[in-house]
Structure 1
């Protein structure tokens, strides 16, 4: 095990609360080609009863390791969003005791309002990690249990920034495999959120002409103040050589693919289920594999390239963000303990600032 992963283990040992075998966790997670130190950390203070890997980011070798220690269930988002399906699964694997759900991407959001009444266990709450997932929980006027979100924590900002940088790194690497580069072309970023902002900055620093599509007027003003020209979707599709989809809410729909500039490359920062509506494109275009991770879509003289089947491209290169991922995972651990040990009211909430400050100080002691 490398020094970084050893430091991560020591960091998690430092922040983990007292052991509580009565608390059960169900964890949605990426299974990248790295040691599962976060799952190991969770198991130190409670029982991980089920792991739900995100289907688009599974390393076979890591999956085999995790299956030796945990119950692993692989389901699509559409299956988990059904209250009948997810309640049946949870009742099978967690038939009693207190339970907390750890979510990445709002997998439990659709079913949550009806879920507690269908469970044999006592659902204490949910911890959600991503902005995309937070938006899914925000769609409900009322929530039956506390949902603590890490998405807008200041401790997540470094990970979001580095994720944007890794997206640009992967995009350049994938284009070079096709004997093409970004320089000299026009790039557009759909969505000027935390990751989109980082992508735009990285492209600007590489002297790549970059514009932004943003429907939120506040974010649009911020993008403009940073020197980025705003552009509408139709003009962006017709003029851009490289398209980064970073909204988490369907940047491109079925009709948009007919308007994409010839030879353009499309890169996504999240799963195709969230970012792209590909059903008609897959059936209406002739699709051929250009490289291992780049597909060429062609029809009636129009053609464009789609990376990684529309899924997050940074996972191709292991999505490395260094030790900052452990800061986010550390806040998840703190949030689990907060729900378990405090009287948190139902609804959306965040970890208190003193808890974040303590976590930051401990992270700096190990990694700073």
Structure 2
């Protein structure tokens, strides 16, 4: 088995983390029981590009245990945990990643993960898909399809589909109800605040927290920041989302107006240069900047560097940019995903749902042939994942009686 990691000797530490996570992932355990005898992925080759931490490891090992040959690259240099990579290798998953890898290493690892000629892709940010279409097109005939987990990745896939260049089917796990209603809102909400607290040891209560973007992730972070006593200011480009933020009790302002007032700035838009030179020039001394969008482009680091006289690591995960006028701006996690660069990502129970969707999508692609394009997660799979979660909590749902079902179908009173 080919692999490239930091230190295989770290495996025992990674195994402990994986055991801890698995005990709080009841839906994945139910799927393991459901599919173990059937081995629906037997003969399948899967390439994944995901955040290589304990929860992800539970998914990758299960894919392997259900018959697939699994190769993985880490989707973020700072979220890759070297002990998890080692544990994955010990469990038969071929891994190409290390914590702190350079950009050049990252893309070389992506190429290595694809070199096994996959049938199915499991992506986080669409870098595997983009690489296949741009550099490794000889792999296209052998790919049955894949799944994408993030809003940013789905945005890229929609662009490819609209241009008519997406050459195989991709399932948008991100758009499943089980994903965006819970992972994006409750997962991002808790894990972003976790990253800030772990990295800075600072108080949130009483501060102005500026949240750029009021999608599902922005909603979740606003909810958690407000619950911790912060005054939340939302910036938006969409009038409906702006009005929703206002109705939810938050102040709505432009970034130009919020820049001079914020104490903590968090970007969750999926766009580029959301916070840039003209905003840095207005900010108070000592502000915190964090990004929870997939790529590290939302906070314009070149502008910040150009305005600065020095940069130093003030704490692990905190870069302090001292501006030429003496003000200090603290950037968390190099502007990468703050919840993964500065913490452990989404809570275990939330990722249990998202990874169950990834697993079921892989099984669906192994069993079905689809035309190229972007697809929703089949409704039956989305519903079954949530039903399994509720069943694990011993929660029973009401069911409609035959009379009620007939009433809902009829237009006659």
Q: Is TM (by shorter chain) over 0.5?
A: yes
1:12 maps onto 2:35 in alignment? no
Measured against aligned partners, the alpha-carbon deviations of 1:231-252 in whole angstroms (never above 9, x if no partner) come to 1111121221111111122332
**2:44 maps to which residue?**
23
Could you tell which deviates more after superposition, 342-351 or 314-323?
314-323
**1:292 maps to which residue?**
316
Change in Cα spacing, 1:44 to 1:19, as seen in structure 2 (3 Å) is: farther
Counterparts of 1:27 and 1:70, CA distance in 2: 10
Q: Which protein shows a greater Rg?
A: 2
Counterparts of 2:147 and 2:25, CA distance in 1: 25
Change in Cα spacing, 1:80 to 1:320, as seen in structure 2 (3 Å) is: same
- By how many angstroms is 1:227 displaced? 1.8
Change in Cα spacing, 1:90 to 1:241, as seen in structure 2 (3 Å) is: closer
Structure 1: segments with no counterpart, 5+ residues: none
Out of 100, 104, 121, the position equivalent to 2:120 is: 100
1:239 maps onto 2:261 in alignment? yes
Counterparts of 2:106 and 2:317, CA distance in 1: 29
1:70 maps onto 2:83 in alignment? no
Structure 1 residue matching 2:88: 3-state secondary structure = helix
CA contact 1:145–1:346 (8 Å) conserved in 2? yes
1:264 maps onto 2:290 in alignment? no
Out of 323, 332, 337, the position equivalent to 2:363 is: 337
CA contact 2:25–2:352 (8 Å) conserved in 1? no
Could you tell which deviates more after superposition, 148-157 or 40-49?
40-49
- By how many angstroms is 1:9 displaced? 5.7
Within-5 A mapping of 1:1-368 = 1-2=19-20, 4-5=23-24, 7=26, 10-16=29-35, 18-33=39-54, 36-54=57-75, 55-68=77-90, 69-74=92-97, 89=112, 92-94=115-117, 99-111=119-131, 113=133, 117-119=137-139, 122-140=142-160, 141=162, 142=164, 143-156=166-179, 157-160=181-184, 161-176=186-201, 180-250=202-272, 251-253=274-276, 256-271=279-294, 273-282=296-305, 284-285=307-308, 286-299=310-323, 300-315=325-340, 316-368=342-394
Structure 2: segments with no counterpart, 5+ residues: 1-18, 395-413
Counterparts of 1:135 and 1:345, CA distance in 2: 19
Change in Cα spacing, 1:181 to 1:188, as seen in structure 2 (3 Å) is: same
Change in Cα spacing, 1:173 to 1:47, as seen in structure 2 (3 Å) is: closer
Measured against aligned partners, the alpha-carbon deviations of 1:137-170 in whole angstroms (never above 9, x if no partner) come to 1112122111101112111122221321221233
Change in Cα spacing, 1:77 to 1:287, as seen in structure 2 (3 Å) is: closer
Change in Cα spacing, 1:282 to 1:337, as seen in structure 2 (3 Å) is: same
- By how many angstroms is 1:8 displaced? 5.9
More strand by share: 1
Change in Cα spacing, 1:320 to 1:151, as seen in structure 2 (3 Å) is: closer
- By how many angstroms is 1:77 displaced? 10
CA contact 1:13–1:41 (8 Å) conserved in 2? yes
Change in Cα spacing, 1:356 to 1:153, as seen in structure 2 (3 Å) is: same
Change in Cα spacing, 1:116 to 1:245, as seen in structure 2 (3 Å) is: same
Counterparts of 1:86 and 1:301, CA distance in 2: 40
Counterparts of 1:189 and 1:145, CA distance in 2: 36
Measured against aligned partners, the alpha-carbon deviations of 1:301-353 in whole angstroms (never above 9, x if no partner) come to 22211112222232333224132211111111111122222232211111221
- By how many angstroms is 1:269 displaced? 1.6
**2:9 maps to which residue?**
none
CA contact 2:266–2:292 (8 Å) conserved in 1? yes
Aligned residue pair count = 360
Counterparts of 1:252 and 1:149, CA distance in 2: 28
- By how many angstroms is 1:361 displaced? 2.3
Change in Cα spacing, 1:308 to 1:126, as seen in structure 2 (3 Å) is: same
CA contact 1:8–1:37 (8 Å) conserved in 2? no
Counterparts of 1:20 and 1:154, CA distance in 2: 25
CA contact 2:48–2:122 (8 Å) conserved in 1? yes
